[in-house]
Amino acid sequence: MKKDFKFEVYLVTDRDLAKGRSLDWVVEEALKGGADIVQLREKDMETAGFMEEARRIKAITDRYGKTLLINDRIDVALAVGADGVHIGQSDMPYHDARRLLGPNAIIGLSVESYAQAREANDLEVDYIAISPVYRTPTKEELTEELGLEGVRKITGISRHKAVGIGSIKAYNAGDVINAGADGVAVVSGICSAEDPQAAARELKQKVEEAKGK
């Protein structure tokens, strides 16, 4: 059975933005503040180290009953028993990822245009990540921001749940939700925050206020 997962505050990790603090600590503080999902992203770490880190983070997400996704690496997700993966347009194709991970894995897909969002409608992904809502240094290869109008158009044509990502902070999280997103994915807004727990809590509050909770 596929895990039932919440979707409002979605932490994407970045050790380089954690200001020298332990990623384990940042993740746990974010979960204490109300983060629902952790996507562990390590673009440059060798496999053994990535797996060791993923097992530590999984122990934390399990303790809080939260969802752990691995960015890109199907092998690492399988090895550590993560809840699923997040894949980009240039990563392993969805059908191959689904075949390897099975029907109960959570699989998310980045979409960076209306055309990609339409193509995703033909896939049984569990959510799409609209990227980037605002221009962001964590995605230097993406120079064009979609903006709130892009979020509106993509969520208007998509049959999937959607999370917005790209320079989202507490002050603009509600705008992204009001534009049609179901949740917000945050990197520096939590990883670089002086108080990641408070940052996650404020984001959660802004998202819930926008949803009328």
Nearest to 113 by CA among 70, 158, 71: 158
Domains of the chain listed by start with CATH number: 9-210 (3.20.20.70)
Helix intervals (H) in 17-73? 23-33, 47-63
139: annotated active-site residue: yes
Whether the CB-CB separation of 40 and 54 falls below 8 Å is answered with yes
Per residue in 100-147, pLDDT tens?
999 999 999 999 999 999 999 999 999 999 999 998 665 555 457 999
What is the predicted pLDDT for the residue at 138? 54
41 noted as active-site residue: yes
Kindly tell me if the per-residue pLDDT of 27 is higher than 60.
yes
**Residue/partner pairs of 44-48 with CB below 8 Å, 24 or more apart:** 47/73, 47/75, 47/76
Q: Is the dihedral of CA 205, 114, 110, 7 positive or negative?
A: positive
Q: Which of 66, 110, 167, 204 is catalytic?
A: 110
The model's pTM:
0.95
Catalytic residue among 58, 73, 139, 204: 139
